[in-house]
């Protein structure tokens, strides 16, 4: 069964979500504080983390930052206010998706299923494992689902990896934000362009893109993004 770590300080919300997820077939561990959640992360080894943004003491943002130091487990951030600034900061910190509370159990379950599907990025078309691709100092191994820069592994969250694999598969092709939302996050509605923008920003940073002068993932103003192949030196 998929293992979900729920970090939520509101007891009623925590117990309600925990019960609903268990009924849907998930194995759930719940924590009341960020510190407890980090301890459970190491012992429980979840497949996905549902993380409340407004935690007492160690905030959800700090928990997200600490998780991302050495773990790429998918993180769904839960925020009560739906404030654009909070959501953007959370996504840029490393969250893969977000929900606005109060959230219906079936909506959260759909988001969990979607993010778990994204972890298992589809392999090739059966014609043999593709060779690693060289793009400047980047090496993208589609078969092994790894990315390295100058031979050093680049730790990517599932949404970051899926986005990079999609863009780099068609260098020069312009993808709209809505196309990327539907392909990477499986969101078929409008209004979540910040998911894409935050993920691109994190990807650029991890790949060593010069601030303000991206080499690989380029913005096409008024349309979306495209990947530019950079020849190895």
pLDDT in tens, 74-110: 999 998 766 677 788 888 888 998 888 888 888 888 8
CATH 1.10.10.10 intervals, the chain: 133-227
Predicted confidence at residue 173, as pLDDT, reads: 87
Residue with tokens 């497949």: 47
Q: Look at the domain 3-119 and name its fold.
A: Rossmann fold (3.40.50)
Predicted confidence at residue 212, as pLDDT, reads: 82
**Which residues does residue 99 pair with via DSSP β-bridges, in sequence order?**
78
Predicted confidence at residue 154, as pLDDT, reads: 92
* CATH class of residue range 133-227: mainly alpha
Predicted confidence at residue 206, as pLDDT, reads: 92
Is residue 76 within 8 A of residue 56, CB to CB? The reply is: no
pLDDT per residue of the chain (233 residues) written in tens, 0 to 9: 788 999 999 998 898 898 888 888 888 999 999 999 999 998 888 999 999 998 989 999 999 999 998 888 999 999 876 667 778 888 888 899 888 888 888 888 888 888 888 765 333 333 444 578 888 888 988 878 889 998 899 999 888 998 998 898 888 889 999 889 888 887 765 557 888 999 999 999 999 888 888 889 999 998 899 998 776 55
Predicted confidence at residue 72, as pLDDT, reads: 85
CA distance linking residue 152 with residue 171, whole number of Å: 23
Q: What is the pTM of this model?
A: 0.66
């Amino acid at each position: 069964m998929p293992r979900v770590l729920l970090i939520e300080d509101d007891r009623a919300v925590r117990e309600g979500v925990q019960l609903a997820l268990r009924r849907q077939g998930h194995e759930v561990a719940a924590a009341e504080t960020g510190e407890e959640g980090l301890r459970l992360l190491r012992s429980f080894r979840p497949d996905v983390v549902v993380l409340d943004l407004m935690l007492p003491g160690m905030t959800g943002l700090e928990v997200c930052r600490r998780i991302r130091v050495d773990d790429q487990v998918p993180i769904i951030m839960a925020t009560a206010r739906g404030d654009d600034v909070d959501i953007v900061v959370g996504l840029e910190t490393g969250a893969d998706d977000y929900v606005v509370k109060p959230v219906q159990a079936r909506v959260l379950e759909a988001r969990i299923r979607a993010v778990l599907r994204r972890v298992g990025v589809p392999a090739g078309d059966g014609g043999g494992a593709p060779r690693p691709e060289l793009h400047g100092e980047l090496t993208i191994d589609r078969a092994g689902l790894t990315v390295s820069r100058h031979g050093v592994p680049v730790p990517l969250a599932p949404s970051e990896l899926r986005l990079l694999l999609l863009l780099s598969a068609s260098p020069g092709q312009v993808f709209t934000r809505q196309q990327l939302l539907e392909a990477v996050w499986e969101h078929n509605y409008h209004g979540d362009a910040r998911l894409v923008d935050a993920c691109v920003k994190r990807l650029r940073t991890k790949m060593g893109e010069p601030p303000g002068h991206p080499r690989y993932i380029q913005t096409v103003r008024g349309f979306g993004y495209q990947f530019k192949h950079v020849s190895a030196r």
